[in-house]
Amino acid sequence: MRAIRPKIRSHTREHIVTIDTDSAPRIMFSGENLIMEDLPVGTRVIYPNRPMTPVANPKAAIRYALNHPESCEPLHALLEPGMKVTIAVDDISMPLPIMRTPDVRELVLEIVCEMLADHGVDDVHIIIALGLHRRMHDWEIKRMVGQKVWDEFWPDRLYNHDGCDPDGMVVLGKTPHGELVEMNRRVAESDLTIYVNLNFVPMNGGNKSMAVGLCGYESLKAHHTPKAIVESSSYMDPPKSYLSHSFKRQGDLVEKSLKVFHIETVLNNRAFDGPLSFLTKNEDDFTESDRLKYQAMKWTLDKLPFAARREIFMRTPAAYELIACYAGACDPTHDKTLAKQNEQNCVEVQGAADILLMGIPYISPYNVNSKALNPLLVQVMALGYFYHMYRNTPLLRDGGVLILTHPCSDKFDPVHHPSYIEFFNRILTETTDAYTIETKYQDELAYNPSYVEMYRHGNAYHGAHPCFMWYWGQRGREKTSRVIVVGADNATVPAIMGWETAGSIAEAIAMARGTMGRSAQITMMHHPPYMISDVT
Amino acid sequence: MHRVSPKYKNSAAFYDVDGTLIKINIVHAFAFYAKRHASLAQSAVSTVKTAASIPVFWAADKLSRKWFNEIFYRSYEGEGEDRLVVLAEELFEDVIKPNIYPRAKQLIEDSRRAGVRQVLLSGALDFTMRPLARYLGVDDLIANQLEFVDHYATGKLKKPFVAGATKADIMRTYAKAHDIDLAESWAYTDSFSDYPMLAVVGHPTVCNPDFRLRSLARSYDWPVLDLDEEPGRATSRRPQGLARDPRDSRRPRSIRRT
C-alpha cells in the first residue's frame, strides 16, 4: 500500500485544498471501508470547518435556555400543578454516527423532568417523535434517554409514536394549501407539549419537529413528494426549500391549535476523535502517527468480513459536543438554531463543480443499528443529502457528473427495511419514475397490512418510506447528467438505479470528462463530518 | 383520525391458524375433549391415550400432513356431534383465547381497515374454529370437517383435506368465487408445510416461522412477523453499536426530588 506523502505546501484557505503534483492522496469512505486515491491536479477538496468550542457546562446552558426563552415565557412559568404535559423527543436518526453518552437528549430530559416534578406536574408522557421512521428498540431508547428517565417512565409513559394507530391520531385541520395535519392524540389532548430537538442538519427542527415527528402518513404525503423535492434548492436551505415551506404551513396550524414549548440543541461536528481523528484531517497535514493509524485500519478492514467491519464502525460513537441550546416559540428559536448551525457547518465555496466526487459512508439517518446501508439508502445519501448540502446555488452545476464510492451491495435489513426490499426488487425494476411511483405504488406500500404491522409493532420503517427515499434523490437525478459509482461489487444494483460503474476513481473521472470536457472542474466533498457548501 | 377509504378492493388475507394466530395446535383441542368425558375413568384413559399417541402424531406429521390427518382424526371416532359443538365454546374460552398471539387481532384489524377480506384457512376442525373466527371478526372460515353418521363422528375427514397443497387449491377456488385477485392478496403462516399457500399470493408473509420457513423467507425476502411480542414493546434484536462511554458510570437515581 502507498504511504501518504507529507505536506510540503501551505494552504491559503483551511477548508479548501487544491490538489497539486505534490499533494497527498485523499481518503474516502466506501461503505464500511476506506479507499485512498490520488486525485487529478486542480481538483478542489472541500473540508468541513473545525469543531466549534463546546459550551463549558451543558446543563447550565440548557437551564439558561429554559429560563430565557425566545418570544415566550420561561418554561417554569408555563407549568401548573395537575396539568397534562407531553414531552416529544427526536429519535436516533440524528446525530450520525450516534453520539457518546450522555446523549444531549438525556441531559435535556433530565432537567425538564425534574422541573415538571418540582411544579407538581405528574401527568407526563414522553413520546419518541419518529414520524414514519422505525420504532426504536427498547435498548436504543434506554441509551438515548438515560437510566434515570428510563427507570421513571418506561414503558407506560415512555414510548414510540405510532402514526398508523387509528385511535391514537387526531386531525387538527388543513392548511390553506389543503395539506392535512394529523397529530398524535396524546399530544393533541395535552395542556402543554415540550419538544426536545437535536438539531443536526438545517432541514430538521423548527416546524418540522411537530408537523412531521408526530404525524401520520396522510399528513406526510402532503410534502414528501417528488415535486416538493425538485422545487427545493436545496432542502438544506430552508428559505429555498419547498419542503420547509410546507412544514411551516403545517407547523403554523399546529402552533395555533396547541401550546408547544420548543427546545433545540446544536452540536459541533466532532464526528471522530481519538484513534479515528485522522479521518477528519487534511491528508497533507498527516503526521507519521496518522499515516500508521490509517494503514493499520485499512489493513484490518481489508481482512475482516462485512459484518465485522460494520460492527467496528457502529460501535464507535461520535464525540459530538453541545455548542448551543435555545428554547421558546417555534420560529424565533429555530432561527437562532439555524444561525448557530450554519456557523459550524457552512463553508464558503466559489463556483460550482462540473464533476462532484463523494465517498458514501456506512451510515445514514435510516440505518442506525441496521445490518447494512441498502442500495436505496446509498442513493438517498448521494443524490439526496450530499447533493443537497449547499446554499445559494448547487455545488454540482446542472448537467454535471456525480461520482460516488460505495460497494452498492444487494444487502437489506429485513427487520428494519422490509418494504425497501419489495420496492427495490419489484417496483424499481418496473419503473424508476418517481411521479409514477407516487401515483401508482405509494399507497399500496403504505397500506400493505404486513408492513403496517411491522411498522406499528415491529421495528420496520413505514411501508411507504422507500418511496420517500426515492423522491429524496429526485432533484439530484434530474439535475445530473451521469452518476458513476466506483467500487461496486455488482453491476445489477447500480443498473437498477440508472447508474454507471467504474473500477477506479481515475476511470470514473475519465468517463466524466468524456461528458464534461478535459477542463472540467472537479470537486471532492471530504466527509464525514458533513458540511454545507455556501456556493457563490 | 382521518379515515381513509379502503385501499384494496379485490384482495384477501388468508391466515393459517395453529402456530400462526394461536400458540396451540389441534392436539391441544383434542386433549381438551379427551379430558372432559362424563366419567373420570374415561377422561383419565382418554388423556393417557392422547399423551401416549403424541410421538406417533409427531412422526406422522413429519412424514406427511395427509397421514397425520388420517391417524389423528381417527381419535375422534365415536364422539357425539352435539358434545363436540357445545364444548367448542368452552374450548375457545379456556384454551384458545388465552393462547391467541398478542398481535394477531391487531394484524387482522389493520388488514380489514385496508379493505382486505379476512379468511381463516385452518387444518383444525371447523366447530373448534368458529368461536375464534367470530372473536377475530373474519369474513370467512375454511377448516376441516369431520364426517358424522347419525351424529357420531366416523373418525374420517370430509374431503378435501385442508392441508398442504390443497390449501393453495382452496384459495384459488375461493378467489374465483369472490372475485379476489391473488396477486394482490396475502397469506400468513408459521409452517414450511404451508409453503403452497404462500406461493400462490402476491404478498406472502410468514409469522412466528419455524426454522425452515424462516430460512425460506430470508431467501425470498418475504416479510417476517413476530406476533408473539406484546404490542407496544420493542423487539429485542441483539444490540449493535451500543457503545457506552466508559466514563459514564453514574448510578441512576430517581427523577423526582425527594
Q: Is the pLDDT reported for residue B40 higher than 70?
A: no
How confident is the model over B5-34, as a mean pLDDT?
Answer: 85
pLDDT of the residue at B249:
41
Domain boundary among A267, A292, A310: A267
| Closest approach of A407 to chain B, Cα-based (Å) | 21
Tell me whether residue A388 is in a domain. Answer: yes
How confident is the model over A324-335, as a mean pLDDT?
Answer: 98
A374 and A416 share one domain: yes
Q: Is the pLDDT reported for residue B54 higher than 80?
A: no
- Asked if A422 lies within 8 A of B231 by C-beta distance, the reply is no
Q: Is the pLDDT reported for residue B69 higher than 90?
A: no
Tell me whether residue B90 is in a domain. Answer: yes
Tell me whether residue B240 is in a domain. Answer: no
Question: Residues of B with CB below 8 A from A369's CB?
Answer: 239-242
| Closest approach of A498 to chain B, Cα-based (Å) | 23
pLDDT of the residue at B247:
40
Tell me whether residue A3 is in a domain. Answer: no
Tell me whether residue A335 is in a domain. Answer: no
B157-195 pLDDT tens trace: 898 889 888 999 999 999 999 999 999 999 999 999 899
Q: What is the CATH number of the domain that holds A305?
A: 3.90.226.30
Query: Is A454 at the interface with chain B, CB within 8 A?
Result: yes
Q: Tell me the residue range of the domain where A390 lies.
A: 16-49+271-318+344-535
Domains contained in chain A, number? 2
| CA-closest candidate to residue A264, choices A104, A129, A146 | A104
Q: What is the CATH number of the domain that holds A141?
A: 3.40.50.11440
| CA-closest candidate to residue A282, choices A33, A19, A505 | A19
- Asked if A456 lies within 8 A of B110 by C-beta distance, the reply is yes
Question: Residues of A with CB below 8 A from B254's CB?
Answer: 148, 151-152
Question: Residues of B with CB below 8 A from A459's CB?
Answer: 234-235, 237
Contacts of B84 (CB under 8 A, 6+ apart): B33, B76, B125, B127, B146, B153
Of B229, B237, B254, the CB nearest to A148: B254
How confident is the model over A154-179, as a mean pLDDT?
Answer: 96
Start-to-end CA distance of chain A, whole Å, equals: 39
Query: Is B238 at the interface with chain A, CB within 8 A?
Result: no
**For residue B47, what pLDDT band results from cuts at 50, 70 and 90?**
confident
Question: Residues of A with CB below 8 A from B1's CB?
Answer: 165-171, 182, 216
How confident is the model over B28-34, as a mean pLDDT?
Answer: 73
**For residue B4, what pLDDT band results from cuts at 50, 70 and 90?**
low
Tell me whether residue B238 is in a domain. Answer: no
pLDDT of the residue at B60:
65
A201 and A292 share one domain: no
Question: Residues of B with CB below 8 A from A110's CB?
Answer: 255
How confident is the model over A197-208, as a mean pLDDT?
Answer: 96
**For residue B254, what pLDDT band results from cuts at 50, 70 and 90?**
very low
Q: Is the pLDDT reported for residue A330 higher than 80?
A: yes
Task: Pick the more confident residue, A7 or A237.
Answer: A237
How confident is the model over B196-215, as a mean pLDDT?
Answer: 94
Task: Give the residue from chain A lying closest to B226, CA to CA.
Answer: A458
- Asked if A138 lies within 8 A of B205 by C-beta distance, the reply is no
pLDDT of the residue at B80:
87
Contacts of B64 (CB under 8 A, 6+ apart): none
A172 exposure class (CB count in 10 Å sphere: 0-12, 13-18, 19+): buried
Question: Residues of A with CB below 8 A from B229's CB?
Answer: 457-458
- Asked if B116 lies within 8 A of A449 by C-beta distance, the reply is yes
Please check whether residue A502 is in contact with residue A37, taking contact to mean a CB–CB distance below 8 angstroms. Answer: no
Query: Is B237 at the interface with chain A, CB within 8 A?
Result: yes
d(CA A350, CA B8): 53
A248 and A357 share one domain: no
Tell me whether residue B68 is in a domain. Answer: yes
Domains contained in chain B, number? 1
A113 and A241 share one domain: yes
Query: Is A80 at the interface with chain B, CB within 8 A?
Result: no
* Torsion A352-A357-A359-A360 (CA) sign: positive
- Asked if B244 lies within 8 A of A102 by C-beta distance, the reply is no
How confident is the model over A7-20, as a mean pLDDT?
Answer: 70
pLDDT of the residue at B258:
35
Query: Is A81 at the interface with chain B, CB within 8 A?
Result: no
Q: Which residues 278-337 of A are in CB contact (within 8 Å) with B?
A: 310-311, 314-317
pLDDT, averaged across chain A: 95
Read off the pTM: 0.90
Q: Is the pLDDT reported for residue B1 higher than 80?
A: no
Which cell goes with B7? Answer: 385501499
pLDDT of the residue at B29:
74
| Closest approach of A178 to chain B, Cα-based (Å) | 14
Q: Is the pLDDT reported for residue A344 higher than 70?
A: yes
pLDDT of the residue at A490:
95
Tell me whether residue A333 is in a domain. Answer: no
Tell me whether residue B54 is in a domain. Answer: yes
- Asked if B239 lies within 8 A of A137 by C-beta distance, the reply is yes
A376 and A289 share one domain: yes
Q: Is the pLDDT reported for residue B6 higher than 80?
A: no
How confident is the model over A173-196, as a mean pLDDT?
Answer: 97
pLDDT of the residue at A317:
94
Would you give the DSSP letter of residue A205?
S
| Closest approach of A382 to chain B, Cα-based (Å) | 24
A173 and A296 share one domain: no
A226 and A172 share one domain: yes
**For residue A16, what pLDDT band results from cuts at 50, 70 and 90?**
very high
- Asked if A449 lies within 8 A of B235 by C-beta distance, the reply is no
d(CA A381, CA A441): 23
Which cell goes with A286? Answer: 498527516
Question: Which residues are registered as beta bridge partners of A195?
Answer: A88, A262
A109 and A90 share one domain: yes
Task: Give the residue from chain A lying closest to B252, CA to CA.
Answer: A148
* C-beta atoms surrounding A290 within 10 Å: 16
pLDDT cut 70: percent of chain B above it: 78
d(CA A449, CA B188): 11
d(CA A79, CA A73): 10
Range in B27-36, B104-113, B158-167 the model is least confident about:
B27-36
Tell me whether residue A326 is in a domain. Answer: no
Please check whether residue A19 is in contact with residue A40, taking contact to mean a CB–CB distance below 8 angstroms. Answer: yes
A193 and A313 share one domain: no
Question: Residues of A with CB below 8 A from B8's CB?
Answer: 447
**For residue B45, what pLDDT band results from cuts at 50, 70 and 90?**
confident
A477 and A351 share one domain: yes
d(CA A208, CA B212): 44
**For residue B71, what pLDDT band results from cuts at 50, 70 and 90?**
confident
pLDDT of the residue at A13:
55
| CA-closest candidate to residue B116, choices B40, B182, B48, B190 | B182
pLDDT of the residue at B38:
62
- Asked if A452 lies within 8 A of B114 by C-beta distance, the reply is yes
H or E segment at B232? none
Tell me whether residue B212 is in a domain. Answer: yes
Q: Tell me the residue range of the domain where B98 lies.
A: 12-225
- Asked if B248 lies within 8 A of A369 by C-beta distance, the reply is no
**For residue B37, what pLDDT band results from cuts at 50, 70 and 90?**
low
Tell me whether residue A370 is in a domain. Answer: yes
A297 and A257 share one domain: no
| Closest approach of A210 to chain B, Cα-based (Å) | 17
Q: What is the CATH number of the domain that holds B167?
A: 3.40.50.1000
Tell me whether residue B248 is in a domain. Answer: no
Start-to-end CA distance of chain B, whole Å, equals: 40
Task: Give the residue from chain B lying closest to A111, CA to CA.
Answer: B255
A370-406 pLDDT tens trace: 999 999 999 999 999 999 999 999 999 999 999 999 9
Query: Is B202 at the interface with chain A, CB within 8 A?
Result: no
Tell me whether residue B233 is in a domain. Answer: no
Range in A5-9, A409-413, A468-472, B211-215 the model is least confident about:
A5-9
Domain boundary among A225, A246, A267: A267
Task: Give the residue from chain A lying closest to B229, CA to CA.
Answer: A457
Q: Which residues 116-155 of B are in CB contact (within 8 Å) with A?
A: 116
Tell me whether residue A379 is in a domain. Answer: yes
Task: Give the residue from chain B lying closest to A113, CA to CA.
Answer: B255
A238 and A308 share one domain: no
Tell me whether residue A516 is in a domain. Answer: yes
Mean pLDDT is highest, among B13-17, B86-90, B249-253, for B13-17
Of A146, A421, A452, the CB nearest to B110: A452
Please check whether residue B47 is in contact with residue B66, taking contact to mean a CB–CB distance below 8 angstroms. Answer: no
